[in-house]
Each structure stands twice: as structure tokens, then as C-alpha cells.
Chain A
Amino acid sequence: MSVRTPAASKETASDGGRSPLAPMRRPFGVWFKDKGWRHVVGVVTTIFAVFPLLYVLSAALDSNGTLVGSNGLFSRFDTGNFVALFSDPGRPFGRWFVNTLVVGVVTSAATVFLGAMAAYAFSRMRFKGRRVGLLTLLLLQMFPQLLAVVAIFLLLSGISQVIPALGLGSQLGLIMVYLGGALGVNTYLMYGFFNTVPQSLDEAAKIDGASHVQIFFGIILRLVTPILAVVGLLAFIGISSEFVIASVVLTDPDSQTLAVGLYSYVAQQRSENWGVFAAGAVIAAIPVMALFLFLQKYIVSGLTAGSVKG
């Protein structure tokens, strides 16, 4: 995909200008200079963006199965790959799906809760070290957890010797590790949002005799539901794609998540398992993409809020 500056693109685009979309009312040149080239850019970018997705969909629906066989796009339609996907006991796709849901939902729920509590403290209370705390959180997120993957592995293997249920191979242990990243990013998103809820509301409630717990659960959390949903969703999407730590912690195929499991499909024999892998990829991607597109408006507004404020 070429990346052009706006000025250059106008020139390059104008020589390929025979878009069927041109209305006949105006001279074509004028229309093209104003809008036509934008459609050319749009169509080209769309092809670039969508093609790999169509490709994997087509491979999933072609039970021929190998990588070579998947090259004729949509030349066959059948569900053989999906059947094969759910009938391999050595690679329990159904289990992986459930595992991913469980780990993702538990982690994101806990993340939202921990993050909201911290954001409430930072937004509504004044205490020593508040500013330093906020800055530290900002700094810490520059260092993703996967940097310390070796230490996490050794720490968990140490924990396994004391409490096996929380150590290596346990999803609970993995969730605990993920919760280490619960503050930071999410606290920031929520902190900004919490600040937009007027403090006069809390004070009114306090005069009426509400405790801080009641204010938190009864007033604040209800008013910031959109940001809770966004943070929860982002955490879920993040966790369901996480590979490094999950691959190190979860070794038993029955306890693995989709990211680790699907990788094992193509790690060794990329070509032979391609069709079945593609079917798995489609099933794994659909819920996440549906959620994302469904909540697109919230996510985008959250995104841009960050960039516009400064």
C-alpha cells in the first residue's frame, strides 16, 4: 500500500481517473479533483484492508484443507473444516474457546472493578502521593508485562511448589498475572471520565447521609457505565489476543486459550492444517469483531478523547 502525502496523491491519482461513480452533471475533471480521487483512494484502501479477511474466510469454507488448495478464492463451499475443527481430541478447540471466554471475562471484570476503585480514589480524594501515584501509573504502562515474562514464569513455577492451584498451568494463576496490568492504562481512561461527573452530586448525596461506598456504587459507577463498558471490552480484546504469557503459563492443551492453541495448529505444519486453522480463526475472530463494531462509537470516542484534549 503506498503511503503518499496529500499533495502528491492528487497528482498520482488523477491519471487513473475513470471511476464509474462519476455523476454526469459536472465536467468530470472538476468532480474528480474535488471528490473522485477520494473514492479511488477509498476503494484501494478498502481492498487492502479487507482482502486478508476474505482470504481467511474463503480458506475456512474450503475443506480441501491445504495452503495451496486455498488459493482459489471461494472456489468451493463446505463446512468440512469446521467439523474437523471440533473433532480433534488432541486439539480441543471447543475447550480453548471456553477457556478464552472464562479467562477474558474474569480478567476484564476484575480489571474494571480494580481500575474503577483506583480511579475513584484519584478523582474524588486528595491524599499525599496522589500526583506521584498518577505519574507512576503513567510511566509503568511504558513497560509491558511481557518484558518480564521470564521472571513471571519463574515466579509462577515457585508458586506451583507451594500452591499448585495458582502456579504454572493454572488459569487462575494466569488471571492473577494479567491483573498486574489492571491499573495503569485503565485507571487513566476512567480517571478522566470520573472527573467529568460533577462533584456536587457526591456532596449532595453525602449531605443526605450516603457513605462513600454508597456514593461509589450507587452514583458514580452508574454514571460512568459507558467507560466501564469500554474498558472492560478493551481488556477483553487484549486478553483474548495475548500470546506470550499465556503460552508460557498454560502448557496443557486442555487449559490453553485460543491464541496459544491456534498457534500450535500452524506452528509446525503451516500448510497441512491451513483449512482447519482458518476455520478456527474465523470462529475466534467473529465475536471480537462483532463486539468491536457494535461498540465502535464508544471506542472511537474514547480514543479520540485522548488525543483531542491535549
Chain B
Amino acid sequence: MPNPDLQELPATAASPAPRQPRRGNTRHAPVKHHPDSLKGTILKIVLLGLVDAFAVYVLMMLFLSQSWAALGVSALVVLAINWIYLRKGGLPAKYLAPGVLFLLVFQVLVVVFSGYIAFTNYGDGHNSTKEDAISAIQLTAQKRVPDSPAYKASVLTKGDDFYLLFTDPSGKVQIGSTGQALTDATGAGKDSTGKANSLPGYQTLKFQEIVANQQEILKIAVPVSNDPADGTLRTADGSTAYQFKPALHYDAGTDTFTDTETGTQYTDNGKGAFADSKGETLATGWKIDVGMDNFARAFTDPSLRGPLLGVIIWTFTFSVASVALTFVMGLFLAITFNREDLRGKKVYRILMILPYAFPAFLSGLVWSGILNPEFGWLNQTLLGGADIGWLTDPVLARISVLVVNVWLGFPYMFLVCTGALQSLPSEIDEAARMDGASAWRVFRSIKLPLLLVSVAPLLISSFAFNFNNFNVIYMLTGGGPRFADTDRDIGATDILITLVYKVAFGQGTGRDYGLASALAIIIFIIVATISAISFKQTKALEDVN
């Protein structure tokens, strides 16, 4: 876990009060603002020109796709950038703007956007507007038109696309493809039965090729005309095609779908879907705002409430235990090896920090091999064929996750504690010894408190990091073993962030972006509260110092 832990460091770098000796050059500026050199000016013009050229391209594309809100915001950003770099003065902004721009878009805006998604039903089956949903339903719910004629069909390709060539019962030849309505084809070659089987500019698929591309060919739906209500032509075998029509008829006036066979009516149920009187909904819905629904669901839905509480408790247990265990182990090792005259000290040190240098995502995967209950080294070799569920028993899986996380994290704490110990003045040690204190007493009453003052901010950041330590959990257990009391993919070692990922992008279950974002917002609030409290506490610690 080299990086993420390191990334928290600056928490302390902030604490030493900024002690700039003098005011910087901006206030000095009146003396004389040296004109930039010619080379610099040219470079500036070229760079700004490139940025603006790109900006114009983006704005044009936004205009063409009619995304007015995005267009407005982008235009403002472009204006701001030009203003910052073209005006005189305002030097700090010129240095800060690029980084801040990325920060605002990909760190701040996305969090705000998460907040918005959390209040919608965005997800599989609810990812577009109502109009899109209506035409999608018309396209997908298709039935063969009763007594419609059979068309003879051949499959052609051009480039990477498949086309169907139809010969209708009267011998008329037409061609079309998914999204390309039927058009008359001229110059088609025909076989002995009168079926058109080739067309200049296209290649005809042989039987083996048809078999090989069956899935693609099944998906081809050639619209009969530009009105989706007219239906499509489809083939099941690559040689005959039939006309299919929407099985559901949409009436714009009453905003209802009617099943053409049973007459069942589906109306807008106000929750982003069409439903019949019994509450059965059509698979394709659309995105609407659902207010606090996602949050309410998280804490009231029986298949979610119990597991979610378990996950929240485990998230706290996991992060507190990880910090405590790594810190105690790191501190113990730091004390053990804080001896100048210990032989082999350097070798120990290098070997012990190896786990820290090993890429974090690989560690979880490697350990999952060692701990695998059926085939793993631990059960098979060390324990001689034992059958202990290191990753499948809920309690053992949690212990395994902690052990692996200690493996990953103790070198960091070892390094940090070694540094902190060495910076303690040696006089205090001597003075306390003179007063007759034992080694343990010196450690407990003097060294440890001093050490904690300097290390506390790192412990807090380490907690925040472990709170979202996705890699260890996901790579080692995938969150499993699954809870028995829910049909969702939630397990005993899941922490909140792995749950977010599984709800949003999990395999098997539908993607539910709304719920995932609501969970992310819950994490956000928890982390914000904890860091607010703990940073206040460390401020207090510093004052004591």
C-alpha cells in the first residue's frame, strides 16, 4: 500500500504554521514588473492558443449535441481561463488555475454530482429520459405480425456491419440493417429459387460464417419504415425473415402502453416506469428524482437494512483495528530496532519494508492464493490438508483480512515511528533515568505521549485511508462470504466502499447508481464528521505540546 498511505502524509505538513518571513513579490510588484522575455511571450501565446483551439472544438461539439447547460458552463470556464492569463497581475491565479481546474471538475464537481444522483433512481432500466424509454419499449417488445408474409433473406456484410437482403413474395428486393430502414436494392444477383443472394459492394456470408456470427445476426432488426410503430424485419436463421411489430402499443394522448394481445394497460406509475394495475412494471423505465427514497431504502428495505448495519459496524471495526494493530506493531519494531549497535539492522529493515513496496492490489490477490481454503498453501502445505475456511467462514475471513492489512501496513508505521523516535531528544531519556524511572516507565510516561503528538495526524489519515481501503477487501475476499439473510451481493468482509462499487458495477445484479451514490454520500458524511472531530483533537494535542 505504498502510495495511499504516503498520500496522507501532508496532514502534518500542514500543521507547522506557515512561517513565511516576508510578503511575497506580489506586493513588491510596484517597484517594476519586469516584462516577460520575447520567448516567454511567444510560448504563452502558443499555449493559450492551443487551449483555446481545443476549447472552441469542445464548445462546438457541445453546441451540436445541444447540451446547453454544459455549453454555458464550459464557455464561462474558457472565458475565466483567458481572463486569468491575459490580464496584468493576478500572478497567483496563473500558477494555481490549471491544478484547481482539474480539482474542481474531477474532485469537487463529481462529489456534488454524486449528491444529485443519490436523489434519483438512476441505474439499469432507468438511465435516460421518458421519451427514450418509450421508443426503447416499442423497439424491444416485438411480436411477429400474424399471417404476415415470409421474406427470403441473405446476410451481407460491408465493413464491420451486417446487412439483410430481402426478397419479398412478389420478388421485390430490398436491403436494410439495424437502424437503416428498408431501401430498394438494384443489381442484386439471384439464385435458382429466385432469392436475391448478392449485391455489388457487399459480401455474402457463407453458412459457416452465419453460424459463427449467429448472435449478431439475431440482433439485426430492420425497420420497415421510419415509424417505429410499423415494426421491423428480423431473421432467426439467416434465410427467412418475418415482420415483427411492437407487442405494446403506445398512446401518446393517454400516456399508456396497451398490450396488443391481452389488452392490459400500462400507465406511468410515478416511479419512472410503466406499470399495470397489479404493479407489474415494464423492464425499461426512465430517470426521475426520487427524493430521499434511496436513503430511506438503505435503512428500511429488509434485504438491505440488516446487512448495511453489519457493513457499517465492520467498516469501523476494520479501520480502527487496522490502525491500532499496524501502529502497535510498527512502534514495537521501531523500539526493538532503535539500537545503533544491532548487527544486521539494515538487512532486517530492508526485508521488513518489502511488503510496503509491493503493489497493493497484488498483495490481496497473492494472499488470496495462500489462504484459499481448498487449494491454498496454508491449508494444504502448512496444515497438512486441513479444511479451515480462512476466506469462507465469516469470523475467520474478517481475521484474515486484518492480518493481510497488517502485513501491508506495518512497514509504514515502522518507518514513521522510527523517524519520530529518533527525533526525540536523548536528554529526556537520560534525565528520567537519573530520576530513577524504569525503561518501561520512561516509555509510557514520556516517550509515548511525545510520540503520539507527532504521529496522531498520521494515525487519523491512516484511519481515513483504511475506511476506504478498497483494494485489500476486494482483492482478498471480494467482500464475501455472503450474508445468508439477503439475496443481495453483500458479505461479511464488505466495507462501505466495496459495497458502493458492487451496487453500482456489480456482476449479476442490476446496476443501481442511485443507491450506490446514496451510500457514497453516507461515507462522505461519516468521514467528514470524523475528520472534523479528530483534527480539532490534534490541534488540542499540539497546544499541549
Contacts and interface: CB of A to CB of B under 8 A. Distances in A.
B470 A243 contact: yes
A21 B345 CA distance: 13
Given A6-B336, A49-B411, A127-B26, A302 B92 contact: no
B329 A1 contact: yes
A106 interface: no
B10 A189 contact: yes
Given A4-B332, A38-B339, A195-B20, A126 B27 contact: yes
Given A49-B355, A184-B103, A150 B114 contact: yes
Contact of A49 (B2, B114, B117, B407): B407
Contacts, number: 399
B421 to A, nearest CB: 10
A97 interface: no
Contacts of A281: 362, 365-366
Q: Give the size range of B's interface with the partner.
A: 35 or more
Given A52-B363, A309-B13, A117 B99 contact: yes
B199 interface: no
B417 to A, nearest CB: 8
A126 B370 CA distance: 55
A70 interface: yes
A41 B339 CA distance: 14
Interface stretch (B147-155, B454-462, B481-489): B454-462
Contacts of A186: 10
A106 B96 CA distance: 20
Given A211-B34, A212-B91, A148 B110 contact: yes
Interface string B397-418: 0000001001100111001101
Given A154-B122, A180-B107, A183-B100, A35 B339 contact: yes
B9 A303 contact: yes
A125 B337 CA distance: 43
29 contacts: A1-B329, A6-B336, A35-B342, A38-B337, A41-B333, A42-B344, A50-B354, A125-B91, A125-B92, A133-B96, A140-B108, A144-B4, A150-B513, A154-B513, A155-B113, A158-B70, A180-B105, A182-B102, A183-B102, A238-B4, A238-B7, A243-B474, A243-B475, A244-B470, A266-B365, A285-B362, A288-B2, A307-B416, A310-B457
Given A21-B343, A183-B99, A306-B13, 15 more contacts: A41-B332, A42-B336, A42-B344, A66-B375, A71-B381, A117-B96, A127-B26, A134-B18, A148-B111, A162-B70, A163-B58, A187-B99, A195-B18, A262-B362, A302-B6
A-B interface, 9 closest residue pairs, ranked by CB to CB distance from nearest: A180-B106, A304-B419, A188-B10, A238-B3, A292-B357, A114-B99, A121-B95, A148-B110, A67-B375
